[in-house]
Amino acid sequence: MSPEAVGTDGPVVVPEAPVNAADTPIARAAEAAVGVRGAAMREPWPRPGRCRIMTIANQKGGVGKTTTAVNLAASLSQHGNRVLVVDLDPQGNASTALDVDHHVGRESVYNSLVEDRPLSEIVTEVEGMPGLYCAPATIDLAGAEIELVPLVARESRLSRAIESLDVSNLDYVLIDCPPSLGLLTLNALVAAEEVLIPIQCEYYALEGLEQLLRTVELVRAHLNANLRISTILLTMYDGRTRLATQVAEDVRSHFGDVVLQTIIPRSVRVSEAPSYGQSVITYDPASTGAVAYAEAARELAHRAITA
């Protein structure tokens, strides 16, 4: 009850001091949680002893290759790693998601592959994301599959382009592949030491994967002995369906420890972010998709210690 003061005209109610909303237990707990999360977001993650070159591949379309490349890169760069995204898909979706100009006529990865243009002249830093760089793709890459055929060492053009960079200044090179197993993807496999395969938690998820695994083995046997499948990431998980859980269990039982513990859920925010020229990490960092990709990146970074 409010205290009262007695005056000549009877009791006078003295109003209580207004409650400070920031002083309530719930507000203090929320503030503490935000503080902890903010500190975690700024916490530096381990940096690999040398640059990790990873190809993100799966010839099945719509499994989250580009989304994975962009959001892992954004997360890693936010935690003190220097990351280059090489957009090898003629659609240029990774370039779009990072808001990097890739209009027709702009110099792009195409010029490095076909014309031997130094990749350093093409790489650009992503605005507002220190430590994150992109080698953009243009629609010209659509013709590269044919134009590469008569060239000498056609399978190693990207490898040579990346070697021309000073990779000692980079922690990760993430190569986003087109949804096919043509010469562009072959170039990506020859250039990398690691393959990251996104697998959607849906029916037919493993269909066609055997062909990718066979291609990786052929590349390892004839073109790149250092290549290995180091990481598998489960994407588009819908916990409401029994099928998604079954697919996740099947993938884990088949591939074992290379499968990240983190699973990427279906998220509207993940789909929306590229239309704003952003990764979901910057578009809505509190969304379930952003939190999952940040955790997957953290797991990937800590695996680098033993990689």
Over residues 256-301, the pLDDT tens digits come to: 999 999 999 999 999 999 999 999 999 999 999 999 999 999 999 9
Residue 38 counted as domain residue: no
Query: Residue 54: phi, psi to the nearest 5?
Result: -120, 130
pLDDT tier, 304 (very low <50, low <70, confident <90, very high otherwise): confident
Residues contacting residue 26 through CB under 8 Å, at least 6 positions apart: none
User: Distance of alpha carbon 198 from its chain centroid, rounded?
Assistant: 11
Comparing CA positions, the residue from 291, 285, 231 lying closest to residue 265 is 291
Mean pLDDT along residues 183-209: 93
pTM: 0.86
Pairing, β 10-13 against β 4-7: antiparallel
pLDDT digits (tens, 9 = 90+) for 111-133: 999 999 999 999 999 999 999 99
Q: How many domains does the chain have?
A: 1
pLDDT digits (tens, 9 = 90+) for 5-60: 444 445 444 444 444 444 554 445 434 444 444 445 568 999 999 999 999 999 88
Residue 7 counted as domain residue: no
Residue 294 counted as domain residue: yes
Instruction: Give the CATH number, domain containing residue 223.
Output: 3.40.50.300
Residue 256 counted as domain residue: yes
Residue 25 counted as domain residue: no
Q: How far, in Å, CA of 230 to CA of 29, rounded?
A: 40
Mean pLDDT along residues 69-78: 98
pLDDT digits (tens, 9 = 90+) for 131-185: 999 999 999 999 999 999 999 999 999 999 999 998 889 999 999 999 999 999 9
Residue 35 counted as domain residue: no
Residue-number span of the structural domain to which 274 is assigned: 52-303
- Give 192-244 as a DSSP string: -SEEEEEEESSTTTTTTHHHHHHHHHHHHHHT-TT-EEEEEEEEEE-TT-HHH
